[in-house]
Amino acid sequence: METWNLDALFTSYEDASFKASIDTLNALVDEANAKVQVLDSTEDAPSKLENIIEFSARLRSQFLKTIAYVNLRLATDARDETSNATMNQLQQLLSKTTDFNTKVSKFVPRVENLESVIESSELLKEHRFYLMRIKDNAKHVLSDKEEVLIAKLTQTGSSAWSRLQGLLTSILEVDYDGDTVTLPAIRNKAHSKDASVRKKAYEAEIAAYKKIEQSVAAALNGVKGEVNELASMRGFESPLDQAVYNSRMERETLDAMITSMRKHLPMFRDYLTRKAELLGHKKGLPWYDLFAPLGSSERTFTTDEAIDYVEKNFKTFGDDLANLARRAHDDAWIDYTPRAGKRGGAFCMNIHPIKQSRILTNFDGSFSNVITLAHELGHAYHGDKIFNESILNASYTMPVAETASTLCETIVKKAALADSEGDEQLFILEQSLMGSTQVIVDIMSRFIFEENVFKARKSTPLSPERYNAMMLEAQKEAYGDALDHDVLHPYMWINKGHYYSGSLSFYNFPYAFGLLFAKGIYAEFQKRGKSFAKDIDTLLAKTGQMTVEDVAALVDIDVTEASFWDRSLAVIKEEIERFLSITK
């Protein structure tokens, strides 16, 4: 099967169990509102805290299962009216729990001797981090009325703007070579062996964005304007500070990583400059050739062949990982191929209530798409390790979210490289470097762009032309002269859905964290062997219950030190030096 099966959630909107789920949610919302008055007093605090834990777990589980189904339906058909209407209904229901959540956020910090109270109960001890995080977060919680109002208004604010961007990019018709194709299909052509195809596809993509630039610019203005205001109201100096706090990491950690990344940009530029020379370019690499394949590999993959290849290479890490990949394929967790209405890119959704995941890709048979599949299966593996934890302990933050996925990419790339030679080895090595360059250099450009957008948006809405100019400047700063400045990509702000989340700003630096953290972990795995896989499993299971720094400490890594990030980037430097050597 090349489409996923959602029956483990619901079979349809007419399914009796789906209708029962909506009824259950309404009852839970009523129950949540009934509990609000009880939380005015801290009398009998231990019992009330246990009740909060038990009820919150039920509430989150029921919402997650129901919303997951609708989100997955929308991901493969953004135009489906029933799904859109149902999502709106669910978001309105969810907003009705805001009063309860706000009361909880204010009740927990008022409990005297909270840590001692937690010690009195096994249930509370299991949720220590969850409760202490609520206490710490209290300084950013507004009044009850404000929180309820914000929850309602975001449904017609950032959430609506985000849906608009998703809809417009999923249904955008791209005119290419006398035909009309989807945006994901045209972007896949960036990997074509044919230089003329890559260039024509790039030109067609750029031209298509002009059709929706005004609408999507309005969406981005709406999202960033809302986030600026709310971050300030909650006492954060900037949306970046809020993103770092929400990531459960220290600014010291982010600064150490960004400093190291900037220091190593020249080595990536050396790689890109050499690639430009090999492709016959004299002014640097044009954007449309960023993903041009070098070397040669005649292999293309069917979906069955892709999963076989990934499973075989996952076995070098451990049977659990390999078995997870096989299960995901055989049990139809994966929606593989592009089609009209289906969103672009790829993602994995971990669904705790059913202890399964669902993966979306836009698979076209290329090796790069096999790597994408390995990446998303890494997310599923992370989910598999955390499903045994309480659902309240299963919410990990963005930086560690990319650890397992990037580790799985590394496993497949390293194994493929070891099994190849000649032109195929060059091909695989360069595929690896393309990926690393995206996650370090392009992520740097996205980080720069988003930080600048937030600053500029404080004073005025921005036009498409302004967004284009800011994107070009960010790309020039990150890539330097390694790219042809006359052929960059001004519309990357339209394409990347991460910019349009009102609750997850700066969904860019976590990818760099994940890549470099995974490189460090993989290096340790190579030294210690398969026994270290168990330590990694423990790390993944605890990501919902620790700060980023404490998670890293589980495997003796200090992420506040730039030297760690330097060592991780040195792993990529070895690949770049190898590439430069074999392409002299």
| Domain of 468, in residue numbers | 161-294+437-500
pLDDT for residue 503: 92
pLDDT of residue 484: 98
Same domain, 107 and 165: no
Same domain, 173 and 146: no
Give the pLDDT confidence score for residue 225 in this predicted structure: 97
- Return the pLDDT at 299: 79
Residue 185 corresponds to which tokens in the numbers above?
A: 């299909």
Say whether both 141 and 175 belong to one domain.
no
- Overall domain count for the chain: 2
Cα-Cα-Cα-Cα torsion 306, 309, 312, 314, nearest 10 degrees, comes to -70
Residue 342 token pair: 């289906």
Residue 304 lies in a domain: no
Q: In terms of domains, do 442 and 485 share one?
A: yes
Residues 76 and 29 in one domain: yes
Please report where in the chains the tokens 């470099």 appear, as a residue: 516
Specify the pairing of strand 347-351 against strand 334-335.
Answer: unpaired
Q: What is the pLDDT along the chain (584 residues), one digit of tens a residue?
A: 799 999 999 999 999 999 999 999 999 999 999 999 899 899 999 999 999 999 999 999 999 999 999 999 999 998 899 999 999 999 999 989 989 998 999 999 999 999 999 999 999 999 999 999 999 998 998 888 998 899 889 989 999 999 999 999 999 999 999 999 999 889 989 989 899 999 999 999 999 999 999 999 999 999 999 999 999 999 999 999 999 999 999 999 999 999 999 999 999 999 999 999 999 999 999 999 999 999 987 778 999 999 999 999 999 899 999 999 999 999 999 999 998 899 888 999 999 999 999 999 999 898 888 999 999 999 999 999 999 999 999 999 888 988 899 899 888 988 888 877 888 889 889 988 998 999 999 999 999 999 999 999 999 999 999 999 999 999 999 999 999 999 999 999 999 999 999 999 999 999 899 899 988 888 888 888 888 989 999 999 999 999 999 999 999 889 999 999 999 999 899 999 999 999 98
User: Are 31 and 139 in the same domain?
Assistant: yes
Q: Are 232 and 260 part of one and the same domain?
A: yes
pLDDT in the model for residue 194: 94
> What's the pLDDT score for residue 88?
93
Looking at 500, 519, 539, the residue that finishes a domain is: 500
Give the CATH number of the domain where residue 126 resides. 1.20.140.70
In a domain, 358, yes or no: no
Same domain, 103 and 28: yes
- Examine residue 578 and state whether it is found in any structural domain, yes or no: no
Coil vs helix vs strand at 357? strand
Full-model pTM: 0.81
Q: Are residues 202 and 247 in the same domain?
A: yes
CB 418 within 8 A of CB 567: no
Q: What distance in Å separates the CA atoms of residue 98 and residue 107, rounded to the nearest whole number?
A: 14
Bridge partners of 203?
A: none
